[in-house]
Structure 1
Amino acid sequence: MITVLFLVVLAGCAKKPPVEIEPPIIEPPVVEVPALTPVTWEHLDGWEDDSLLPALEAFRNSCVSLRWREQWRDVCSSAQQLDVVDVLTVRNFFEQYFTPHQVRNADGSTSGLMTGYYGPELEGSREPTEEYRYPLYQQPDDMLIIDLDSVYPELGNYRLRGRVEGNRVVPYFDREQIDFGDNQPLAGHELFWVKDPVDLFFLHIQGSGSVRLPNGEQAIVNYANQNGHPYRSIGRLLLDRNEMTRDQMSMQNIRRWVANNPGSGQKLLAENPSYVFFRELPPGTVSPPGAMGVPLTPLRSLAVDPRTIPLGAPVFLSTTFPGTENQPLRQLMVAQDTGGAIKGRVRGDFFWGMGNEAGEFAGRMRHPGELWVLLPRTLENYQGK
């Protein structure tokens, strides 16, 4: 009995075979590629074919702002003094003073979305009538703009919009409350009255445009502020609800859908809570200013994400002409604007100009493309974010 007990105890003390444990899976670290990579001019496919004179004039306009920055002072001075004789002279100027940098996504890819925008032309009046009854508003007096930078420096890029209700600050009115509510909260802040509410909605999307008055006068209006609510794409809503396919998606088709579905169309517009307020520009203004404060140049101004591409810099664009499968659009642009939907490294919005013809091209532009930023040789180490 003692022997048996001893064997049992001995067996219990015997060393058990090790249990095999699979090693944890360790993901390789994600290495983010620098946003801008210096390249040679040979990388810019189409550079030799572009007529660069309009881009030079657009860049000279940028220098009204850039010339006060030390890194841009010399190149802007040379651009202003350049005696333009021919395209070769302009090309030599850019190649002498700049270094091209390929814009890359964080994963190293070089392709991104290129879209277009324009300044719509609306029919309107300074007084409401039965024909002109949809208000275009200027910035309201009761909208508060709250800057958090002094209290929360990490939120320095954010500006909150709101209004006082009792002893509280609440979000400002959204689109449904402003345009479709019963109490007309912005009465008295009308800048113009326009004929078509859908045209007015697209003016909000574009951020600037013109109003043609009954006497033939044309007033240019430009973005003044926004109500603080996030932008929601009605095009995306139509796709999600299978009302339109991706191939059908264009500004023209969205407009047609809203017109053909007036009840549902009004509800669709109200689902974008973002609302833009405008200011009238001085008489004689031909083109609205972009984010730099200088007039936009049709076919040469580009809206970008300034976290990667410095405003004012020349940018070579390679994409496809709107409405075509393979017709190339390769030319030198100038980064002179920004936009709420223009986010990401390889992302551009092409300014087509003012009026309905420009809108035809802008509404059909949604193509992949590549970008090269031209930086002064003193800025060659700039990497963006």
Structure 2
Amino acid sequence: MEPGAVWHVRPVSFADLDGWKADDHGAALSALARHRQKPAEHSYRKGRLGLDPDRLLDLATRADDARARHDPRAFFESQYVPLRLAAADGARGRVTGFYEPELAASRRKRPPFETPFLRRPADLVAVDDTSRPAGLDPSYRFARRQPGGTLCEYHDRAAIEAGALDGQGLEIAWAADPVDVFFVHVQGAARLTFADGTATRITYDGKSGHPFTAIGRLLVERGEIDAQRVSMQTIRQWLADHPDRSRALMAENRSYIFFREMPAGDPGDGPVAAAKIPLTAGRSLAVDRLIHTFATPVFVEADAVNGDRFRRLMVAQETGTAIVGPARGDIFFGTGDVAGERAGAVNSPCDFTVLAPRDMADTLPAYWTP
């Protein structure tokens, strides 16, 4: 979406939502009710759209009531008002897919497990407009605290992979393929399995602060992949076909992700992500958290997801560096290779309709500039 584009918030009826009646509202209700698992000490930020997190969480709690479970569609229709997000210039949103990779790993470095997943280092600190040092790009949300206490730009991917953080004991586990590790950084989480049959999960715990650079876009700009064919699968194939150039290309994405370890949990659950609850395959949506508030139901109408029209009620429960704009979403497809195949092929125009609590719908702006 072009910077400065004006977006309208237009009330519609549920009857106006193509595919609303045919959706599995019970599945969406179960995803919404998961917000009851949010740790009490963790709070959600109100997005610019203006939906209050406390009110959304109150409805998420009520989503687990017997009456709501008895008739999920009636629950949504009685408690929420649908508001279509529409760009004044007619531009549409876009939806892609993400997943949780599942990799074999080792607790110690040994061939072929030689590429690490790193914990967050002690000198990585979050910054905002009040603490960001002069000269550090305004987009950077993390910086490096130097021995004297001053802040500076953190090491980027190339520097870290060259050994900038070696010797600090930050390694959680080691994987065999640097390309697999790179895509775990892109997805922000992974389920790791070890030779003894045990498993663990790693999830996002900060980043170097550098802007995310989509290497697929670089390959398209350089004529290496046709724009109509670019996907996670074609990017991975290019990297496999050009081993002498792959590491340099990945290093152009200077953003480097740090992880924390989590219990493996129920294999049927997704990872615990930004909303601090387990994600639900097919129902959890990553959104721009500066605009949207977690626990907001969002009805997504996409032209084509894995070859079919997509009409589904999702719940805003995750975010991502590349997810920017009012109608920009990322669908969580689950864990493992099959989920990865489905997620990697998704790139579709879409429309967003947010469900606002009935007592809040009149308080939202009629239009705004993100």
Q: Aligned AA for 1:170?
A: C
Contact between 2:56 and 2:296, CA under 8 Å: does it hold in 1? no
What secondary structure does 1:264 align onto? helix
Partner of 1:161: 143
Residue identity (%): 36
Of 218-227 and 135-144, the range deviating more from structure 2: 135-144
Partner of 1:96: 78
Of 155-164 and 51-60, the range deviating more from structure 2: 155-164
- Aligned positions of 1:14-163 closer than 5 A: 33-64=6-37, 70-72=54-56, 75-83=59-67, 89-105=71-87, 107-109=88-90, 111-149=92-130, 159-163=141-145
* CA distance in 2: counterparts of 1:117 and 1:133, whole angstroms: 25
Change (3 A) 1:82 1:375: farther
| 2:329 is equivalent to residue 348 of structure 1 | yes
State the TM-score, normalized to the length of structure 2: 0.86
Higher fraction of helix: 1
Q: Which structure: larger Rg? A: 1
Unaligned runs of 5+ residues in structure 1 are 1-30
RMSD: 2.7
Unaligned runs of 5+ residues in structure 2 are 45-51
Measured against aligned partners, the alpha-carbon deviations of 1:52-109 in whole angstroms (never above 9, x if no partner) come to 11100111112555999553465345323233565xx21111111110000122x252
* CA distance in 2: counterparts of 1:201 and 1:73, whole angstroms: 34
Contact between 1:224 and 1:276, CA under 8 Å: does it hold in 2? yes
| 2:349 is equivalent to residue 365 of structure 1 | no
Contact between 2:140 and 2:210, CA under 8 Å: does it hold in 1? no
Measured against aligned partners, the alpha-carbon deviations of 1:210-238 in whole angstroms (never above 9, x if no partner) come to 11111122211100110111111111110
CA apart distance, 1:323: 3.8
- Aligned positions of 1:1-385 closer than 5 A: 33-64=6-37, 70-72=54-56, 75-83=59-67, 89-105=71-87, 107-109=88-90, 111-149=92-130, 159-164=141-146, 169-179=151-161, 181=162, 185=166, 187-284=168-265, 286-324=269-307, 327-380=308-361, 381-383=363-365, 385=370
* CA distance in 2: counterparts of 1:157 and 1:175, whole angstroms: 17
Contact between 2:116 and 2:175, CA under 8 Å: does it hold in 1? yes
Of 155-164 and 312-321, the range deviating more from structure 2: 155-164
Contact between 1:113 and 1:348, CA under 8 Å: does it hold in 2? yes
Q: For CA contacts below 8 A with separation 6 or more, give which structure has more relative contact order.
A: 2
What secondary structure does 1:188 align onto? coil
CA apart distance, 1:34: 4.5
Q: How many residues align?
A: 347
* CA distance in 1: counterparts of 2:218 and 2:255, whole angstroms: 15
